[in-house]
Amino acid sequence: MDALPELDDVLARLHVVSVPLVTRFRGVDRREAVLLDGPSGWSEFSPFLEYDDAEASSWLAAALDFGWRDSSAPAVRASIPVNATLPAVPLDRVAATISLFGECRTVKIKVAERGETLADDVARVRETRRLLGPAGRIRLDANGAWTVDEAEHAVRALEQFDLEYVEQPCATVPELAELRRRIHRIDVLVAADESVRKTADPLAVARAGAADLLVIKAAPLGGIDRALAIVAEAGLPAVVSSALDTSIGLAMGAELAARLPELPYDCGLGTAALLADDVAAPPLRPDDGTIAIGRVTADPDALRRLAADSERTAWWRDRLTRCHALLAR
């Protein structure tokens, strides 16, 4: 953004919330977030707890950008098609979890979870295909957990279910490139997520020919305009996804998706369905497979109901202060 807001102003607008989840996700049962009542609208700062300050500072840059000014890029669509997200739930909970998202035509399934086997993944994908029918779209997300050999074996075991793509099957760009070379005869695309948002060079994956498409998130890439610039320079199709945000963070993702010149894939912005409560009334949940674009305002009752305790609030204030200092350098 053009000028960094003063720290005192940012802290004066801060609300820390702790939101319960419907099902355990990324090892947590609650999602903590800082909400900022900025002059241009509400924004969210919610890097995952394990991220260091250097990585988290990009999330703060995005939150300040969204809360203190509007994007210069025009919106080209008024609603965003979204997918359902299926965590590594037991097989008997697959149908109920997918149903939380309503009539979504696409499901992203988390695979390669710690403690799970490929047989577990196959069973979960098979059940999802049964529920969706032949017209539904299935994509997988391994979060970089497989080696190249493991990824190739898994893709070959799962391709029978007509996969749309597999997201971040391996951790590194060279591994993605090698996997893409090995499976080029299989009609399964490779998408890059962490290789875009958790690196100093988000364009390396495109230059290496290591992915067919990019999965982008506004917050870790430093905001809407920077994410748009990365997609434009990469020259690859993009899917906008969330990081288990509240409805306020999802609204920033929707604004990013609305500004992409092309949006050939459903976006991962329906994850408010995985929250047992939310900061907005009503929450930004999928309606007939889409979410609307537009600013979301925090509900005062929800801010009181979901307010984090004093210890967690102090932790987040300290974290934001350190990240602000990094951005001010």
How many whole angstroms separate alpha carbon 149 and alpha carbon 36? 44
CA angle (194 as vertex; 89, 81 as ends), nearest 5:
65
Q: Is 198 a catalytic residue?
A: no
Which of the residues 13, 108, 110, 139 is marked catalytic?
110
Question: Which residue of the set 217, 285, 319, 324 is catalytic?
Answer: 217
* Residues found in the chain: 329
- Residue 193 assigned ligand-binding role: yes
Amino acid at 263: L
On whether 167 is known to bind a ligand per the annotation, the reply is yes
Question: Is 217 a catalytic site residue?
Answer: yes
Q: How many alpha carbons lie under 13 Å from residue 141 in its C-beta half-sphere?
A: 19
Enumerate the known binding-site residues for Mg(2+): 141, 167, 193
The binding site consists of 141, 167, 193
The set of catalytic residues is 110, 217
